[in-house]
Structure 1
Amino acid sequence: MNQWSEVFTNLKSLTLAMNKYAEYLTKKSEEKSLNQSLLKPVRSTEECTSMVVLPSNTSQVPFVVRKFQSLLDKIRDLPGFVPVFVNDFLSLDRKMRYEELTLLKEHGLSYPTVLFTHSPGGNVGNFHFIWKIPEMSTSCSDDVMSKSVCVTQSLQNQLPKFHTRQMRREFVGMFGKIAKVKPYYLREMYKRLTGDWTSAHDTDAAALDKRVKQFLQLGDPDIVTDLREHNPGRPSKYEPFWNEVEKYMENVVETAVQERRHGTVTYLATAMSVPNLLECVSKVCPPEVPIPSPQWLRLQFWPKKPNIKGITAVHRTPQN
C-alpha cells in the first residue's frame, strides 16, 4: 500500500492543478465573450497611455550614448514638441527592446524630453513616442504639460485601435442588409473608416481580407486570376488523356449505378475511385499519350472556387 501512496498523492496534486487551470480557462473565456459583446472598445485611450518627463542628463554613459546616437541625431534637428517614433530606433527583440527602454528612462538624453507610451494590450506591443521640450522646463510646468497633451491628441489617429466583435458585427449587419455588399468589403470599409487594427477571427477571413486589401491598393478587383490566362492558345499537355477519359466515361461508365441494379443483387459502378479511373483509362491510351498523376487527376474534379454554390469542376461535373 505504501508504494501507491506517493502515486496517489501526485495524482491528487495533478488533478487539483488541472481543475484550477480549467477554472482559469473558463473564467478567461467568459471575460472574452463579455468583452466581445461590448459596443465600445474594451480599453479607453486614457487607460492605455502614459506620459513621463525625462530630465536632461549631461553626464551621459558612453554606452548609452552609442545606443541612442541615431535617436539623438533625429531629435537634435527637430524643434520642440515634434514627436519621434521611438520604436524605429529600438531592437526588434522584445527582451532587448525592454532593456533599451529601461536605459532610456533611467539615463534620459542630453536634453529634456517627454516619453509617451501607448499600450493597447495583446500581442501588438507598446508604441513609444518622444519629443524635445525647452531646456528650462520642469516636470511640473503647466505649459509643457498642456503642449504635450496637444501632441498626444495629434497622435491619436496614428495609434492603433481595437474594436470588439459586436461593434464590427453591428456595422456589417446594418449596412450589409441595405447595400447588399459582401462582408469582406464591409470589413475593409470598417477598418479604413475607424482605424480598427483587430485581426480576423479565422484564417479564411484573414486570407480574404488580405486579397481585398491587395486589389484595393492596386485598384484592380480582378488582380487574382488564373495564371493560365496569360498563356492563350497554349495546348494542354494532358488534353489527349482527357479525350480518352471522356470516351471512357461515355462508353463504359455511362451511368452512376449499373443498369442491373433492380433485384436482390446490387452491382457497383465502374471506376470506383480516381486511382481506379486512372488505371482503366491508362490501359486504353496509346503509348505516346502522357499519363498524369492521381493527385493531378483528382484536382481536376475539384471546384475552382471552394465553398461557393453553383460552381463547376475544372473538367467534369456529375450528371443528374
Structure 2
Amino acid sequence: MNSYASYLDEKNADQQKRQKLNHPPRQVGDHAWLEVKPGCEAVNPKYSLLDQAMWNLQLHQYLCFNEEQHYAGPFISSSDKYHFFERPSLSFSICMLSYCPGGSLGKIVYLWKVPDYMTTSEIIKSSLFIYERLKPRLPEFHTRKMRSDFISRYSNLSHTCIPKHILCSIYTDLTLDFTAMQNPAIDTRVQQAI
C-alpha cells in the first residue's frame, strides 16, 4: 500500500508540473507519426469499408479515420485498434499520419492514397505538404497556466472588466484549445450569447 501511495504522489507531482507549463505538453510535431503502408492483392473483409471510402479519393486527398464509418463495429480494445493500423490490408499504398494528443481522445489517424511508382522518400516529401495542411486540424490541449496567463493579461485591458467566463470562451475560440470545458452548461450559454 505504501508503494502505491508513493506512485500516486509521483503522478500527482508530474501532473501539476505539466499544468504549469507555458506550452502544450503534447506538441503536434513531437507526437505525430508519418508511415507508408504498402497495398496488397486481396483486401481483408474488415478493411472493406475503409478501402471503399479511400477508393473514391484522389491521390494525396486525405481521409480522417472514423471508427463508426470505416470499420464494421467498434474496436474491442486499444490493442485491436493498434493491430488494425499496424498492417492494413488495402488495395493500394497509403500514407498514414497518426497523432495522439492525450486528453483521453485516443489516436487520430489521417490516411491518403499514394502512387505505387513513387519511392518512399518521394512519398514522405510529398506527404509533408499534407502534414502542414493537417496541422491546424490536429487538436492541442493547453495547460491551466496558458489559460490563466491569457486571462490575467486581458482581464483588465480597458476600464471595463471582462468577466472570466467570457475570456475563457474567447481563449478557446482563438487558440482552438481542445481542453474539456470546466463548466459545460455555463460555457455553452456563453458561446450562444457571444
Shared fold (TM-score greater than 0.5)? yes
Moved over 3 A (4+): 90-94
Residue among 42, 46, 54 paired with 1:67: 46
* Cα deviations by residue, 1:129-149 (Å, 9 ceiling, x for unpaired): 1000012124x3x22111111
Aligned counterpart, 2:185 = 207
Q: Distance in 1 between matches of 2:123 and 2:96?
A: 13
Q: Is 2:114 aligned against 1:114?
A: no
CA contact (8 A) 2:47 2:88 kept: no
CA contact (8 A) 1:53 1:112 kept: yes
CA contact (8 A) 1:90 1:97 kept: no
Aligned counterpart, 1:147 = 126
CA contact (8 A) 2:42 2:89 kept: no
Structure 1: gaps (5+ residues): 1-17, 217-320
Q: Distance in 2 between matches of 1:36 and 1:135?
A: 45
Q: Is 2:29 aligned against 1:46?
A: yes
- Which secondary structure state, in structure 2, belongs to the residue aligned with residue 95 of structure 1? coil
Q: Distance in 2 between matches of 1:125 and 1:90?
A: 16
Code of the aligned partner of 1:213: Q
CA contact (8 A) 1:90 1:100 kept: no
Aligned counterpart, 1:170 = 149
- Which secondary structure state, in structure 2, belongs to the residue aligned with residue 189 of structure 1? helix
Alignment of 1:32-111 (within 5 A): 32-60=15-43, 64=44, 66-87=45-66, 88-90=69-71, 93-95=74-76, 98-111=79-92
Residue among 171, 177, 188 paired with 1:196: 177
Aligned counterpart, 1:136 = 117
Code of the aligned partner of 1:75: M
Q: Distance in 1 between matches of 2:76 and 2:49?
A: 20
Code of the aligned partner of 1:35: R
**TM-score, normalised by the number of residues in structure 1:** 0.55
Q: Distance in 1 between matches of 2:96 and 2:59?
A: 13
Aligned residues: 190
Code of the aligned partner of 1:52: E
CA contact (8 A) 1:54 1:108 kept: no
* Cα deviations by residue, 1:73-132 (Å, 9 ceiling, x for unpaired): 222222111110112423674535752552343243111001111101231111011000
RMSD: 2.0
Distance 1:92 1:212, change over 3 A: farther
Report deviation, 1:215: 3.7
* Percent identical residues: 26
Q: Distance in 1 between matches of 2:70 and 2:88?
A: 16
Report deviation, 1:198: 0.7
Q: Is 2:162 aligned against 1:184?
A: no
Q: Distance in 1 between matches of 2:30 and 2:12?
A: 22
Q: Distance in 2 between matches of 1:100 and 1:165?
A: 31
- Which secondary structure state, in structure 1, belongs to the residue aligned with residue 111 of structure 2? strand
Say which is worse superposed, 145-154 or 97-106, in terms of deviation.
97-106
Determine which structure has the larger strand proportion and give its number. Answer: 2
Code of the aligned partner of 2:2: N
- Which secondary structure state, in structure 1, belongs to the residue aligned with residue 157 of structure 2? helix
Code of the aligned partner of 2:101: P
